Amino acid sequence: MSVKVMIPTPLRAYAGKRDSAEFSAATVGEALSGLTSQFGELRKHLYTEDGKLRAFVNVYLNDEDIRYLAKENTPTKDGDTISIIPSIAGGSFAR
């Protein structure tokens, strides 16, 4: 199953500046593994040390939040789109 993973702006720096990547995957989890294997630096932004998806990052299969589907075991079909939606707030706390 060829699925497209959309990479949000805040994470593109860790994915070779790409805004999307395609993977062959049967589940959402497989597609995300494909993503973090290809772009190792993304892993710590998406996953905690014990391998859980970070709570401020939401993953959608097409337009549905995977938390309400089968989470990372949600099966994917050809042409599906996986979106990663991190929280953004704009503005302050300049470094």
Residues making contact with other proteins (CB under 8 A): 8-10, 13, 19, 45, 54-56, 58, 60, 63-65, 67-68, 83, 85-95
Whole-number minimum distance, CB 57 to other proteins, in Å? Answer: 8
Whole-number minimum distance, CB 1 to other proteins, in Å? Answer: 21
3: helix, strand or coil: strand
Whole-number minimum distance, CB 82 to other proteins, in Å? Answer: 11
In angstroms, the CA 42 to CA 36 distance is 6
How are beta strands 64-65 and 57-61 bridged, if at all? antiparallel
